């Protein structure tokens, strides 16, 4: 309890002597200054506080925190607190804590109102759109320079990115496409069985996979795996000032970092999509031949007849557009990244969200255009 | 008197590569102990072994006579609770404010209430000259302030030993000097023992009272003692060259 640690002595006129004893370490908990304050309130004539300590006093920052608070409270009441009775080390710490340091220049840290924050957010969105357009402009200019042979392009880096986008994604694309093909066949069979039209499962799986589903599934996988890694990679480069180093060298970061990534994805996405088409059809074939007892040769013939070349082209166009969307989203978020660890995390998440949203919107637009053109 | 920290026959390395061999030294209470040497000599690897981040290949690190790497997890945690570390780049958690960075060790290891923790945080920040900066994020303050905020976090639990990894790196001479003064003041006020990993000569002579010099070629300690005494008395050309910033022969 309090009396064990704090004893008050009024034997000297207008002076309060505080005797400290016991455990004043943080592990024992911090003592409030309320007790001292009430003593001072009941003795308004006090102008001086002296402090003495007993032999058994154990202390650390717990004591200093208490004393600092007491000194600051007494400053308001114009009461002098003499520190001579304290251990030497405690006096030094108190002096250090009370030292007037040169003020560092800091921007004001004011809390903004709801309206201000909303306005700020809207302006951020507008600024984001504008920087996105600038980025697309930069990309177009850099492509122009690449085509005319004026840009600096590192083929080694490009091949490395191609490998990452292709070979290292293959296993995931295989698994997902195979399963999507199987699920489609299985779900379709439930309804088609009613009409005795199970053989049309092959048409459904083939057309759905080749026209749109393979490209969409591959796009989503690539967005999660490659788009995120682009954002993290460029974000870290931004944080480590590597992008600044490129700029000061007169090299455009878009030419050096973004163009190889976009090209790599634009080349690899159609290849992955064709591969996903095959895996999807294989998935449908496994279910049809294995579980629904359809004739395997008949299934393959039906698939061949159902898939027109124009469907393959539609799928490939999807995949190229998705490749551009994923690469641009990843690179844009990475280059816009804030220069800290949290910024890299935000950029990565944002790249995936932007990529997938872009894929869905692009699918809707391309589907409408195809419908309009009668493809 | 038992040393606060003792290193016995320590070997450091990565896989088959040996960085340092047979390191032995001891640090007494109240020392400001400097570990110095040229870039790549293994100073930071040694620090990692001292603060429990990297197991040495051989040898012992003893705190108050207890072998850190022979302790179980609880024992190691109890020892780690007694030291604070100021990392080279500050290593403040960027998603937390300066105040939250300093408060976290107190929340983890003490039973203080939120209000009490705020009071201790305010004290620690005022000790390093950052009073009133609780609500700033690390990204919103200067490099020098980040170092001091990191120091406030390192002393949050009143450690017995404070490790500094290249404290002056990235600081201008004025801020580097301020940090050196702060090291001395905190050592005196907290009664702590300080281990500083550095190659900054100004800091070495300003704060150090004992040291070891790590040599890259021999992969061993080639000099020990007060840095000022080493400068005055050492006959080893490598030590003299380092402490006087002399050019290497033939360079």
In three state form, how does the secondary structure of A85-126 look? CCCHHHHHHHHHHHCCCCCCCCCCCCCCCHHHHHHHHHHHHH
> Number of C-alpha atoms within 13 angstroms, CB side, residue B17?
6
Whether residues A205 and A336 share a domain: the answer is yes
Pairwise CB contact (< 8 Å): B185 & A68: no
- Residue B163 CA: distances (Å) to CA of A321, B82, B85, B143, B200: 54, 11, 5, 19, 16
pLDDT at residue A265 tops 60: yes
CB nearest to A341's CB, from B94, B124, B141: B94
Q: How far apart are CA B100 and CA B118, in angstroms?
A: 9
Whether residues A92 and A175 share a domain: the answer is no
Contact A230, A296 (CB under 8 A): no
Q: How far is B189 from chain A (nearest CA, A)?
A: 4
Whether residues A212 and A348 share a domain: the answer is yes
Which of B206, B201, B208 shows the shortest CA–CA distance to B242?
Answer: B201
Residue A375 banded pLDDT, cuts 50, 70, 90? confident
Distance, CA of B70 to chain centre: 22
Whether residue B89 lies inside any domain: the answer is no
Q: How far apart are CA B123 and CA B101, in angstroms?
A: 14
Whether residues A258 and A358 share a domain: the answer is yes
B101 interaction partners in chain A (CB closer than 8 Å): none
pLDDT at residue A118 tops 70: yes
Whether residues A144 and A27 share a domain: the answer is no
Q: Kindly report which listed range (A247-256, A271-280, B103-112) carries the lowest average pLDDT score.
A: A247-256
Whether residues A246 and A356 share a domain: the answer is yes
Whether residue B188 lies inside any domain: the answer is no
Domain span at residue B12?
1-82+201-251
Q: How much is the average pLDDT of A216-222?
A: 96
Q: Kindly report which listed range (A164-168, A231-235, A323-327, B159-163) carries the lowest average pLDDT score.
A: A164-168
**Residue B92 CB contacts under 8 Å (≥ 6 apart), including other chains:** B98, B101, B138, B146, B149, B150, B153
- ipTM passes above 0.90: no
| CATH code at position B43 | 3.40.50.300
Task: Classify residue B99 as exposed, middle or buried by CB count within 10 Å of its CB (0-12, 13-18, 19+).
Answer: buried
* A26 interfaces chain B, CB cutoff of 8 Å: yes
> Number of C-alpha atoms within 13 angstroms, CB side, residue A242?
13
Whether residues A91 and A154 share a domain: the answer is no
Pairwise CB contact (< 8 Å): A97 & B106: no
Whether residues A180 and A42 share a domain: the answer is no
Whether residue B140 lies inside any domain: the answer is no
Q: Which residue has the higher pLDDT, A104 or B96?
A: B96
Q: How much is the average pLDDT of A268-280?
A: 96
Computed over every residue of chain A, the mean pLDDT equals: 90
Whether residues A245 and A146 share a domain: the answer is yes
Distance, CA of B36 to chain centre: 12
* A89 interfaces chain B, CB cutoff of 8 Å: yes
Pairwise CB contact (< 8 Å): B123 & A339: no
Q: How far apart are CA A349 and CA A197, in angstroms?
A: 44
CB nearest to A101's CB, from B120, B129, B158: B129
Question: Residue A89: closest CA among chain B residues belongs to which residue?
Answer: B189
Torsion of CA A291, A293, A296, A300, to 10 degrees: -80
B133 interaction partners in chain A (CB closer than 8 Å): 104, 106
Q: Report the pLDDT value the prediction gives residue B250, as an integer from 0 to 100.
A: 45
Return the ∠ at Cα A115 (arms to A113 and A120), rounded to 5°.
95
| CATH code at position A53 | 3.30.750.24
B144 interaction partners in chain A (CB closer than 8 Å): 104
Pairwise CB contact (< 8 Å): A30 & B119: yes
Q: How far apart are CA A104 and CA A107, in angstroms?
A: 10
SS3 call for B251: coil
Pairwise CB contact (< 8 Å): A92 & B145: no
Q: How much is the average pLDDT of A322-342?
A: 91
Q: How much is the average pLDDT of A21-34?
A: 88
- Give the single-character DSSP code of B108: H
Q: How far is B22 from chain A (nearest CA, A)?
A: 36
Whether residue A236 lies inside any domain: the answer is yes
Pairwise CB contact (< 8 Å): B127 & A30: no
Question: Residue A32: closest CA among chain B residues belongs to which residue?
Answer: B116
CB nearest to A26's CB, from B135, B158, B190: B158
Whether residue A268 lies inside any domain: the answer is yes
Tally C-beta pairs within 8 A across A and B. 78
- Buried b / exposed e over B212-241, threshold 16 CB at 10 Å, is bbbbeeebebebeeebeebbeebeeebbee
Q: How far is B35 from chain A (nearest CA, A)?
A: 26
Of the residues A45, A75, A98, which one is the last residue of a structural domain?
A: A98
Which of A237, A260, A262, A232 shows the shortest CA–CA distance to A322?
Answer: A262
Whether residue A51 lies inside any domain: the answer is yes
Whether residue A242 lies inside any domain: the answer is yes
Whether residues A228 and A363 share a domain: the answer is yes
Q: How far apart are CA A228 and CA B173, in angstroms?
A: 41
CB nearest to A104's CB, from B126, B142, B158: B142
Whether residue A145 lies inside any domain: the answer is yes
* A340 interfaces chain B, CB cutoff of 8 Å: yes
Pairwise CB contact (< 8 Å): B189 & A92: yes
Whether residue A124 lies inside any domain: the answer is no
Query: Number of folded domains in chain A?
Result: 2
Whether residue B93 lies inside any domain: the answer is no
| Residue spans of chain B under pLDDT 70 | 246-251
Contact A265, A326 (CB under 8 A): yes
Contact B161, B130 (CB under 8 A): no
* A73 interfaces chain B, CB cutoff of 8 Å: no
Whether residues A61 and A183 share a domain: the answer is no
Domain span at residue A88?
2-98
Contact B91, B76 (CB under 8 A): no
Q: What is the pLDDT of residues A56-95, one digit of tens each?
A: 888 999 999 999 999 989 988 889 999 899 999 999 999 9
Whether residue B125 lies inside any domain: the answer is no
Whether residue A114 lies inside any domain: the answer is no
Whether residue A368 lies inside any domain: the answer is yes
Question: Residue A97: closest CA among chain B residues belongs to which residue?
Answer: B127
Q: Report the pLDDT value the prediction gives residue B228, as an integer from 0 to 100.
A: 93
Query: Number of folded domains in chain B?
Result: 1
B29 interaction partners in chain A (CB closer than 8 Å): none
Distance, CA of B181 to chain centre: 15
Q: Report the pLDDT value the prediction gives residue B152, as an integer from 0 to 100.
A: 95
A101 interaction partners in chain B (CB closer than 8 Å): 129-131
* B116 interfaces chain A, CB cutoff of 8 Å: yes
Whether residue B144 lies inside any domain: the answer is no
């Amino acid at each position: 309890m309090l009396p064990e640690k704090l004893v008050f002595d009024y034997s000297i006129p207008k002076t309060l002597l505080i005797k400290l004893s016991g455990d004043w370490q943080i592990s024992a908990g911090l003592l409030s200054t309320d007790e001292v304050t009430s003593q001072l309130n009941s003795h308004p004539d006090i102008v001086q506080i002296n402090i003495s300590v007993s032999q058994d006093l154990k202390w650390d920052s717990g004591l200093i925190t208490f004393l600092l608070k007491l000194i600051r409270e007494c400053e308001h009441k114009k009461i002098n607190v003499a520190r001579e009775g304290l251990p030497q080390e405690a006096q030094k710490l108190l002096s250090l804590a009370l030292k007037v340091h040169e003020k560092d220049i800091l921007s004001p840290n004011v809390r903004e109102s709801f309206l201000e924050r909303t306005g700020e957010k809207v302006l951020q969105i507008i600024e984001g759109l504008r920087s996105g357009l600038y980025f697309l402009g930069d990309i177009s200019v850099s492509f122009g320079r690449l085509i005319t042979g004026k840009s600096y392009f590192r083929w080694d880096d490009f091949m490395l990115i191609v490998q990452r986008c292709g070979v290292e994604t293959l296993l995931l694309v295989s698994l997902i496409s195979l399963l999507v093909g199987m699920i489609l066949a299985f779900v379709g069979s439930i309804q088609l069985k009613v009409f005795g039209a199970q053989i049309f499962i092959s048409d459904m799986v083939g057309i759905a996979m080749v026209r749109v589903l393979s490209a969409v599934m591959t796009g989503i996988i690539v967005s999660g795996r490659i788009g995120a890694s682009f954002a993290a990679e460029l974000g870290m480069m931004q944080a480590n000032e590597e992008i600044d180093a490129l700029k000061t060298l007169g090299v455009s970061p878009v030419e050096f970092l973004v163009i190889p990534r976009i090209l790599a994805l634009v080349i690899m996405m159609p290849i992955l999509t064709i591969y996903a088409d095959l895996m999807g059809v294989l998935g449908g074939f496994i279910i049809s031949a294995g579980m629904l007892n359809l004739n395997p040769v008949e299934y393959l013939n039906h698939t061949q007849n159902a898939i027109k070349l124009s469907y393959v082209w539609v799928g490939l166009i999807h995949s190229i557009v998705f490749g551009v969307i994923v690469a641009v989203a990843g690179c844009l978020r990475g280059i816009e990244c804030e220069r800290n660890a949290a910024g890299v995390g935000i950029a990565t998440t944002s790249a995936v969200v932007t990529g997938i949203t872009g894929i869905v919107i692009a699918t809707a637009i391309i589907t409408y255009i195809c419908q309009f053109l009668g493809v | 008197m038992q040393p606060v920290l003792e290193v016995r026959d320590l070997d450091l390395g990565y896989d088959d590569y040996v960085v340092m061999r047979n390191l032995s030294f001891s640090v007494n209470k109240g020392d400001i102990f400097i570990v110095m040497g040229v870039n790549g000599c293994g100073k930071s690897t040694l620090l990692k072994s001292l603060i429990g981040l990297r197991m040495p290949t051989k040898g012992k690190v003893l705190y108050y006579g207890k072998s850190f790497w022979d302790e179980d997890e609880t024992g190691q945690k109890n020892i780690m609770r007694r030291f604070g570390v100021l990392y080279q780049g500050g290593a403040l958690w960027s998603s937390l404010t300066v105040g939250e960075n300093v408060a976290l060790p107190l929340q983890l290891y003490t039973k203080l209430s939120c209000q009490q923790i705020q009071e201790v945080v305010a004290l620690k920040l005022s000790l390093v000259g950052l009073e009133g900066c609780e609500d700033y994020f690390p990204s919103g303050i200067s490099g020098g302030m980040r170092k001091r905020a990191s120091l406030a976090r390192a002393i949050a639990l009143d450690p017995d030993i404070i490790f500094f990894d290249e404290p002056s790196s990235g600081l201008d001479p004025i801020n580097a000097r301020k940090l050196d003064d702060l090291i001395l003041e905190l050592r005196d006020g907290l009664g702590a023992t300080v281990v500083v990993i550095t190659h900054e000569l100004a800091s070495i002579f300003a704060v150090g009272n004992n040291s070891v010099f790590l040599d890259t070629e021999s992969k061993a300690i080639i000099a020990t003692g007060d840095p000022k005494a080493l400068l005055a008395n050492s006959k080893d050309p490598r030590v003299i060259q380092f402490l006087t910033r002399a050019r290497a022969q033939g360079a």
